[in-house]
Amino acid sequence: MSNVINLIHSDETEQEESITLYPEVEVKPRRDNDFPIVLIKGRGKLHKHANGCLLARHYHPTFFDSELEQTTPVTINNYADHIRQWLNTCALLKTSYLYADYNFLLTVLNTLRDSGLQENSLANYITTWRLFYEYLDVLNVPHRMDLPKKIKKKRILSDAENQGDYLNYTRKDNTAKVTVDPLIDQGRIIKRSSYISQVLSKSQMKELISELRKNDVVYGVMAKVQFDTLLRITELIDYFPHTSNALNPNFKCWGEMHIGNLQEQEFNFIGKGQYQRNISLDIRTLKLIEDKLITAKRTGSDTPIYDERKHKFLTKYLETKDGKKSRYEANTDVLWLTENGHPVSKGMFQQAFRDASMILKEKGIIPSHIHVRSHAMRHTGATLRLVKYKKETGVDIHTDNDGDIHAFLQNLLGHTSMSTTHRYIRTVRDKTFSNLAAKTIIRNEELWDEEIKNNSTLKKGVDAIKSEL
């Protein structure tokens, strides 16, 4: 099947009208392949430049740069949203994107910074907006956005980077070439050396899953499955099967595994970078799904929860406007359904985590500095497995042993970057040192009597430490 998507372009009159009236735009997916389409809001007409940029970036990346590779559907949807944000900002400020200049962009960026948007997120927007104007340049479309060029620099490699590069002896110096975008405020970039702020304790995990279940049982089950499998959110939502499918033709439910005396089975899915991966799926994970979702029943109901939701999915959701435009059909293998029969989306799952996080932080169960999101299930699961790996193999969790640790984590997580492995190593070591400090405080609690009595925050912290020991 051809990758070419034919677009019905507006004529010159429509294009000029769209520029003059500064229309807002919206992004909608194509029903046949979910590729994002940018439409002029209220008119249903295609935005020529926005759609052209997205198509070129996805199907013809070398159109921009000979070194660019084809991107994933997730990334292209992010690009579409970033372009939508830019075009709508221009529309709000009554300025055509073709007449917006560098000073206009700086004003927008500073406004976003003042609103509290993190520089890490802003950097993603800047990358897309640069790409959009690069596309216009290649097409020789006149515009006023004269952006400063990126600056190529050298930086000294850290000890961890040196230790993680087994070819470091071949380098002439201890530096690496980096490209810096002057539009990005490097001083505001948050650089995390570990995942310590995203790792939960076992008791916090239990409370989080319990809170998610109060919202909807499906969110609690999904969180536990993500913790068990270490899947990314897209992998969990889009590929975890209910029955056998094209990627998993021999998939077995818990009952089939139990009868066959199988403890695990292979699960295939499309991972980051659009590469097919597989992991071993433990029978205990499927037992959880079976007990909490497939066969469980609401109080006063004789119908299993999943059957109720699947019935609503077939008879109600698919008949709605959104359902008819979605990628779902009557024979779609869909497991994760909400109480009203709607398929769980990435945004819905993330919102459930935000709601649960707010409640647990207000109760003091999870500290305010811990960043609770669905990806925390992956970080927490990987960290605990790394601790278990140390106990079972005797391998010290240190950068000196990063080769073995990298191989272990790569098999679990599917990542290729040694820097990611180093973050997990530092997470385990930071967690270990913080636990040692906590135990030292408790063992010498009598020395802290006066401080604990006069400092409610310290008392709450000591009580929390006791509950973890």
List pLDDT tens digits, range 159-178.
544 554 444 444 556 666 77
Q: Closest by alpha carbon to 152, among 170, 176, 134?
A: 176
So where are the chain's domains? 12-138, 151-188
**Residue 266 or 417, more confident:** 266
| Per-residue burial over 79-100, b = 16 or more CB atoms within 10 Å of its CB, e = otherwise | bbbbbbbbbbbbbeeebbbeeb
Angle ∠(259,262,265) on CA atoms, nearest 5: 125
Asked if residues 292 and 221 have their Cβ atoms less than 8 Å apart, the reply is yes
pLDDT of residue 4: 33
pLDDT tens-place string over residues 38-53: 999 888 889 999 999 9
- Mean local confidence (pLDDT), 256-280: 88
Tell me the C-alpha distance between 295 and 307, whole Å: 8
Cα 15 off chain centre by: 36
pLDDT for residue 53: 94
User: Which pLDDT belongs to residue 71?
Assistant: 81
**How much is the pLDDT for 419?**
62
Of the pLDDT bands very low, low, confident and very high (cuts 50, 70, 90), residue 390 is low
The structure tokens listed for 355 are 């709601």
pLDDT reported for residue 84: 95
What is this structure's pTM? 0.63
Which residues does residue 155 pair with via DSSP β-bridges, in sequence order?
176
With beta carbons less than 8 A apart as the criterion, state whether 403 and 166 touch: yes
Between CA 307 and CA 290 the distance in angstroms is 12
d(Cα 48, Cα 294) in Å, to the nearest integer? Answer: 46
* pLDDT (0 to 100) of residue 80: 95
SS3 143: coil
Q: How confident is the model at residue 14 (pLDDT cuts 50, 70, 90)?
A: very low
